[in-house]
């Protein structure tokens, strides 16, 4: 897992997040791709999740997409798949993604970029494409 000291308070940022937020950490660890979890969670890609407003960002994101028909359909399919107590496999997740409208994907991308732009003073390691941010 790693030999570095872990600041327990930092781990609270991950409570309740789906594994996909953590770059598929579980399966990558099981495959031996991630030998040191502490180091992995300290990499630049993870910094945004430690930001104090990341939870608010996730809530806003959920609220903006939850009423969309494609998202509702995916949620219904996920509910049906998991009602017997089993989780969703990666293959099923890939299948669900096919039902997501490109406009929904764009909303998620735009909201994510806006979060990074707004908090760029704390997240300088993220590249924002385009001249509109210069």
How far is 22 from 119, CA to CA, in rounded Å? 20
Long-range contact set of residues 89-95: C-beta below 8 Å, sequence gap at least 24: 90/24, 90/27, 93/20
Share the mean pLDDT of the chain: 83
Mean pLDDT, range 4-24, rounded to an integer: 73
SS3 call for 65: helix
Average pLDDT over residues 37-49: 83
pLDDT tops 60 at residue 11? yes
Report whether 40 contacts 11 (CB < 8 A): no
Percent of the chain with pLDDT over 70: 90
pLDDT band at 123; cut points 50, 70, 90: confident
């Amino acid at each position: 897992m790693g030999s570095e000291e872990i600041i327990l308070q930092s781990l609270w940022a991950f409570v309740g997040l789906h594994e996909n937020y953590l770059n598929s950490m579980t399966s990558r660890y099981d495959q031996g791709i991630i030998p040191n979890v502490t180091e992995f969670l300290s990499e630049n890609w993870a910094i945004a999740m430690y930001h104090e407003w990341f939870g608010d960002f996730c809530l806003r994101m959920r609220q903006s997409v939850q009423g969309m028909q494609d998202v509702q359909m995916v949620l219904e399919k996920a509910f049906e798949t998991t009602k017997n107590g089993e989780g969703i496999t990666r293959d099923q997740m890939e299948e669900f993604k096919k039902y997501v409208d490109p406009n929904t994907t764009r909303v998620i991308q735009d909201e994510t970029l806006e979060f990074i732009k707004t908090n760029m003073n704390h997240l300088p390691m993220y590249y924002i494409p385009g001249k509109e941010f210069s």
